Amino acid sequence: MIGTSSRLLHLLSLLSSRPSWTADELARRMDVTDRTVRRDITRLRELGYDVESDPGRWGGYRLRPGTKQIPLVLDDEESLAVTVALREAARTGVLGDDQAVLSAFLKLRQLLPTRVASQLGAMDDVFEHTARAGGQPLSPGLLAGLASACRRGERVRLSYRDSRGTETERAVDPHRLVFTGNRWYLVARDVERAAWRTFRADRVVHAEPTGRVVPVDDPPDAARFVAEMLTSDYPLYVTVRLFVPLAEAMRAVPPTAGVHRADGPDATVVELGGTDVESLAARLVKLGVPLTVLEPAEVRAAVRRRGLALADGNRPDDH
């Protein structure tokens, strides 16, 4: 017979996995009686969990969110996935340099079963990381505050430091956060300039919510907006037709690295920038998808040269 503590954890896991359960459904999933389910629900309530219920045999049980921190019940693969994600966040700074990321990783690692810890150790032995791109430390608390403002549509007062180190005060209407190149970008409408702007989140010194919810009219595609901003300074651009659907093209060339346009159901036109003809040609060849360079002619010729050289080096033996 499964122990009471394990059964309560199982019940919590079920209640948090979907909005509502009937007593019969819970009983079948846990292989217990309806009476045991009702008794365990009572125990959870005594422990401080806010479990709501509807009267009657077919009434549902639901766990009211946010009332108490719920212990997670993870299998081996889930434990490894969460630990690796926290480790990479601590190493890359995707959530900022806040100590909370490293602390959470160290706590979770201590709780890993030996078999999972050995898998993580094997990964540590073979993984290597390049140096992080420069940038100011970014607090997860600040990132979470910006995300909440985006979700609520709440105007924010930003203290923002530009690339020259000049600090200014901005009133902005946040729309979306975009992550690319180990950096977070806030896409927001600059109130004073009445224009959409991107703000590097690591340059936000302070963000103060105003409590004023402002409807955002005709917002841009955030990922495309950031991509256009990042590629606006390239000395050379190429336009290609990838003979794959839009979704596959966006996997080959991420939205933050190029501007995409569906060209029928089975093709996508993409514009991306680079520093010179040869590096762009090499990048296109590495995509591994059928394509045609629309312009410029110099890049088309460079891609052709590379393709011919590859074919020439892989001719079948004469004998």
221 has a pLDDT exceeding 80: yes
- Distance, in Å, from the CA atom of 138 to the CA atom of 130, rounded to the nearest integer, reads 19
The side-by-side arrangement of strands in the sheet containing 204-213 is 195-200, 183-190, 167-180, 154-161, 204-213
What is the pLDDT at residue 241?
Answer: 95
Q: 257, 255, 175, 158: which is closest to 219 by C-alpha?
A: 175
- For residues 65 and 266, which has the higher predicted lDDT (pLDDT)? 266
* 19-35 average pLDDT score: 87
Order of strands, sheet of 51-53, starting from the edge strand that comes earlier in the sequence: 21-22, 60-63, 51-53
Domain boundaries defined on the chain: 4-63, 76-126, 140-220, 234-312
Does domain 140-220 fall under CATH 2.40.50.100? My reply is no
Please state, in angstroms and rounded to a whole number, the distance separating the CA atoms of residues 40 and 45.
9
Instruction: Supply the DSSP symbol for 279.
Output: H
With cut-offs at 50, 70 and 90, classify the pLDDT of residue 201: confident
On average, the pLDDT of the chain sits at: 80
The pTM is what? 0.49
DSSP-assigned letters across all residues of 25-51: HHHHHHTS-HHHHHHHHHHHHHTT--E
pLDDT of residue 134: 52
* Mean local confidence (pLDDT), 61-75: 64
- Does residue 110 surpass a pLDDT of 80? no
- pLDDT for 5: 63
Match domain 4-63 to its CATH number in 3.40.50.12780, 1.10.10.10, 2.40.50.140, 3.40.190.10: 1.10.10.10
**pLDDT of res. 154:** 92
Average of per-residue pLDDT across 222-243 = 82
Return the higher-pLDDT residue of 31 and 316: 31
- Region 121-145 average pLDDT: 61
Instruction: Report how far apart, in Å, the C-alpha atoms of 100 and of each of 2, 71, 82 are.
Output: 35, 18, 15
Could you say which DSSP state residue 69 is in? P
CATH number for 234-312 (one of 1.10.1040.10, 3.40.50.2300, 3.40.50.170, 3.30.70.250): it is 3.30.70.250
The pLDDT value given to residue 116: 73
Which residues are bridge partners to 52 per DSSP? 62
Residue-wise pLDDT tens digits, 43-67: 888 877 888 887 655 568 887 765 5
- For the cut 80, the answer to whether the pLDDT of residue 289 exceeds it is yes
Percent of the chain exceeding pLDDT 90 equals: 23
Mean pLDDT of the region 24-46: 88
pLDDT confidence band for 73 (50 / 70 / 90): low
